[in-house]
Each structure stands twice: as C-alpha cells, then as structure tokens.
Amino acid sequence: MPPAPHPHPAGRRAASSGAGHRVAVLAYDGVTLLDVAGPAEVFKEANRFGAAYRIELLSPTGAEVTTSLGVRVAADGAVSPELACDTVLVPGSDLYPRVAPVPDDLSDAARTLAAKAGRVASICTGAFILAAAGLLDGRRATTHWKVAHVLAARYPTCHVEPDAIYVRDGAMYTSAGVTAGIDLALALVEDDHGPDLARDVARALVVYMQRAGGQSQFSAPLQGPPPRSPALRKITDLVTANPGDDHSPGELARHLNVSTRHLTRIFQDELSTTPARYVENIRFDMARALLDQGHTATRAATLAGFPSYESMRRVFAKKLSISPAAYQRRFTTTRRPDAG
C-alpha cells in the first residue's frame, strides 16, 4: 500500500478562497451522533460571532447514514478526490474497534479527504479510522481512555497519549471520548480566530474554555487483573484488605520472606509497576470510590489508608490534575446546591 498522504499544508488557504472555511465531517453508518453534532454546534455558534464556517456532512458514497442512535441523516455529498477542505472531522463509533475492524472504504475516504485538507481532526474512536488510513504513523495521538491501549497495540507506530483531552501533532488533531470533541472544536476555533471569539463560543454553549485535568478523572479504577503468582496475589490481597497498614516495600517483602529487590522484580514482571506505586494506586482507587459515595475528603483519606489528607491531595493532583474536593464536586452528583 502506498504511504498515506498527510494533510496538505496549503489546503486551508486554497479551500478558503471566497467561500468561508469549509468543514467536512465524515459520516458513516454507526457514527456516534454526539461526535458529529457537538463539534458542529461549536462551529455554528462561532459563525454568530463573526466566523464563516461552512459545515458539510460527507459519506463515502454520498448515501444517507444511520447514526448510533438509529437516527438517519442525509449526507450533503460523497467523498471525492477533487474536494479541498479547510478542516476534516472524523467522528467515532462504538463499532470500531470493539465490534469490527475499520472497513477499507472508510479508511480510504479518510485518506482521500486528508490529501487536500488544511487540517484533519478525529473525535473519540475516529482515531482508529485515521490510524487505519495510515495518517497517524509516527504521530502523537489520543482517543477514548477505554480503548487507548488498543490503539497503541494495534498501531505501534502511533504514539498514544491516553490521558490527553486532545492532541495536536502538526496539522493532525485527535481528541478523547465524545464531549472532548467540543474541547477540540473550541481549540480549532481559537486557532482560526483567537481566544476572545473562542471564549464567546464557550460561554454561549455553557462549556469550559479549557477543562481542568485529563481523561484519567473520567476513567475506571486503575486496578487490573489479579496477579498470576499466588505469592504476589497474597500481597495484593493484603494491601486491598488493609490499605492503611504499613505497606512499605520492606514490610511487604517480609510477608513473603524475600528481599525487597526480589519483590520489586516480581511486581515489575507481573504488573509492570513498583510495590510503592501499586499501594498508591490502590489507595487512590479506594479514595475515589469513597468520594463518589459521599464521604468527606478527610474521611476518604483516612479510610483509604493515606497518611494524611495532604498526601492524598498530592496523589490526586498528580493523577488527575485536580484536588479531591474538585473531583467530588464534579462527579458525585449532577445537582447543584442552588437547584432546590
């Protein structure tokens, strides 16, 4: 297969002459509707503040598509090698990579659009379509946190950043799951028109101009499958059952009658981490669950085994870039205190 074309550096200028900024959204059966509508609303709202985006929905053949919700959407046209677009958006789908590989006609359509585009952007698992088209080879990228490891394994030449909300590598942009497409679209508007107009759009849509933290704050707990060896499983069970006990590497090694160095090697071989980091992750997961249940941050720190609230706060800042209190406000309930 010939090497995939990269976004054309002059594509934006060529497409923009006289007709506004042309945004082509690649639609296909099973596409996530919010991945299409969210960014499109950002561009449409930007037009109210002086931008001139022209949004077109294109499908590989020009036929209408059935979205993830079963809603049928008419396409404005078919993907064609003659099309020159300023921005190409490739939304995601639950189908890829969970159900099936990306079909050739879809990756071909993405490659065709990218050949004459000023910039190319994917939302959520749309990154798999770009990767299948060869457009992420040697590039930094992200996707939904649930499948970031799959993208990295399936396309090893792509440098996946699993915690990023969105990633820019030259004229190629990729974003995290679903609503992160709105974050990405705001960034594109800011690139085109500056922060003031982008801020007006964010305010109008009642969204953050830039949300705090990365994808980790939305992800499931970090604990993975249990260790294979009975010895290490004994240690992990001990930590989980009593997170507040002394779980220093030396103390854990004593439980197995092995050296600290040997224990560290076992953790690295089986869990790809260190004993100290494993203990920290267990405590972090427990604290997050306790905050979700409504415990105060101080109580969660105690029950999860942190030496102090401050030590828990440092871990939250490192992993999520937000404080425990901010995490709890953001994820415990949708009700606002003044909502009655």
Phi-psi region of 122 (alpha: psi -120 to 50; beta: other; left: phi over 0): beta
Catalytic residue among 124, 136, 201, 235: 124
The Cα–Cα gap between 171 and 188 comes to 11
If one counts every other C-beta atom within 10 angstroms of the C-beta of residue 101, the result is 13
Alpha helix locations (H) across 28-89?
33-48
Q: Is 169 exposed, middle or buried (0-12, 13-18, 19+ CB in 10 A)?
A: middle
Contact (CB, 8 A) for 34 and 89? no
Exposure string for 185-197, b = 16+ CB within 10 A, e = fewer? bbbbbbebbeeeb
Alpha helix locations (H) across the chain?
11-16, 33-48, 104-115, 126-132, 148-154, 180-193, 195-205, 230-241, 249-256, 260-271, 275-292, 297-303, 309-320, 324-331
- Provide CB contacts within 8 A for 66, sequence distance 6+: 29, 30, 72, 73
DSSP conformation class of 31: B
Cα 171 to chain centroid distance, Å, stands at 18
3-state secondary structure of 181: helix
The pairing of strands 166-169 and 172-175 is: antiparallel
Amino acid at 225: P
Phi and psi of 338, rounded to 5°? -95, 10
- Check if 85 is active-site: no
Q: Active-site positions?
A: 124
